[in-house]
């Protein structure tokens, strides 16, 4: 069957064998793996050797037909194939612990990674995304941003390697990167609240953190919190560490409750 890639589903199929092998090697052996967007099934094939159970979510029903015939034998055993938009059925993705593996469609990549971070059943992920977004998730020190700080709540997000456009069919316009995060801690703060707090902190990165915080708290309160925590008024968001962001978050929330 001739399959034409659909742009609106972000279909760029990985064709380079050595990159496929590198991705598979970087995935830890896991009891259960969830793959989002198996496409033509090239990564899927390698993933089957890495787990006892593989569950694949694919949005495109034409690809489902292809996958059903390619994996007819495996689908009678350890593999499950679900025709759905992974974002819409996230609550049903897995009731047991799982590792996420995917060459993600770029139009939903950030959203999917944020959902995987928040999902307590997800033990970590290896995903391929647009390099620019990968660099954001893995940024450190002066380059840090709300996405890298959110990742740090769960573990270290590593940029493993870049993948050039020629490795795909059709070739995307941008370079891609593979990133990996193995969760080694579970934050005990209100994650949704902290996500939106970080967005405010980095809303205008050139402004001081205190100025950005004016959107969510009063000036006197901010200055008092900074003084208590020994933070200079002139500090910018990229200069502060995660522990201090968490402390400011708690203090701002307490002030709102008072
Ligand atoms: N895994 C294949 C590979 O590496 O060649 C395909 C990767 S392609 C970049 C992205 C895949 O995700 C496509 O098969 C596309 O149909 C699927 N997809 C796009 N949006 C999706 C969604 N919301 N839920 C599930 N699958 C999706």
Radius of gyration of the chain from its Cα atoms, rounded to whole angstroms: 21
Beta carbon of 10 within 6 Å of any ligand 1 atom: yes
CA 184/CA 123 separation, integer angstroms: 8
Beta carbon of 103 within 6 Å of any ligand 1 atom: yes
Pocket probe mutation, ligand 1, options 22, 33, 39, max atoms within 8 Å of Cβ: 39
DSSP 143: G
- Is the pTM value of this prediction over 0.85? yes
Handedness of CA 58, 62, 64, 70 (dihedral sign): negative
Q: Both tokens of residue 111?
A: 């959203």
Q: Give tens-digit pLDDT for 148-192.
A: 999 999 999 999 999 999 999 999 999 999 999 999 999 988 999
CA 50/CA 27 separation, integer angstroms: 8
DSSP 234: T
Q: How confident is the model at residue 2 (pLDDT cuts 50, 70, 90)?
A: confident
Mean confidence (pLDDT) of the chain: 95
The phi, psi pair for 84, rounded to 5°, reads -160, 160
Q: How confident is the model at residue 255 (pLDDT cuts 50, 70, 90)?
A: low
How large is the average pLDDT for residues 212-232? 95
What is the CB neighbour count within 10 angstroms for residue 16?
A: 15
DSSP 2: -
**CA 145 to chain CA mean position, Å:** 14
Beta carbon of 41 within 6 Å of any ligand 1 atom: no
Report which protein residue has its CA nearest ligand 1's atom 23: 85
**Does residue 246 have a pLDDT over 90?**
yes
Beta carbon of 169 within 6 Å of any ligand 1 atom: no
User: How many A from CA of 226 to the centre of ligand 1?
Assistant: 45
Report which protein residue has its CA nearest ligand 1's atom 18: 37
Q: Give tens-digit pLDDT for 186-204.
A: 998 899 999 999 999 999 9
CA 133/CA 170 separation, integer angstroms: 20
Q: Both tokens of residue 29?
A: 């052996």
Beta carbon of 112 within 6 Å of any ligand 1 atom: no
Beta carbon of 197 within 6 Å of any ligand 1 atom: no
Beta carbon of 44 within 6 Å of any ligand 1 atom: no
């Amino acid at each position: 069957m001739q399959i034409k890639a659909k742009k609106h589903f972000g279909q760029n199929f990985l064709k380079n064998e050595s990159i496929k092998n590198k991705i598979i090697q970087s995935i830890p052996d896991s009891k259960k793996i969830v793959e989002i967007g198996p496409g033509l099934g090239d990564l899927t094939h390698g993933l089957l050797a890495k787990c006892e159970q593989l569950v694949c979510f694919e949005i495109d029903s034409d690809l489902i037909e292809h996958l059903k015939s390619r994996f007819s034998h495996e689908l009678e055993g350890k593999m499950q194939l679900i025709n759905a938009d992974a974002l819409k059925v996230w609550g049903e993705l897995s009731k047991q612990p799982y590792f996420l593996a995917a060459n993600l469609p770029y139009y939903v990549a950030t959203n999917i990674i944020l959902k995987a971070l928040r999902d307590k059943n997800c033990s970590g992920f290896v995903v391929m995304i647009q390099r620019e977004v990968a660099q954001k998730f893995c940024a450190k020190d002066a380059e840090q941003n709300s996405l890298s700080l959110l990742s740090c709540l769960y573990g270290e997000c590593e940029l493993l390697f870049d993948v050039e456009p020629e490795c795909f069919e059709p070739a995307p316009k941008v370079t891609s990167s593979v990133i990996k995060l193995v969760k080694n801690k579970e934050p005990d703060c209100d994650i949704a609240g902290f996500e939106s707090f970080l967005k405010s902190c980095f809303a205008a990165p050139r402004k001081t953190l205190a100025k950005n915080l004016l959107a969510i708290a009063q000036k006197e309160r901010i200055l008092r919190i900074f003084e208590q925590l020994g933070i200079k008024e002139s500090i910018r968001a990229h200069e502060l560490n995660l522990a201090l962001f968490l402390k400011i978050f708690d203090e701002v929330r307490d002030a709102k409750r008072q």
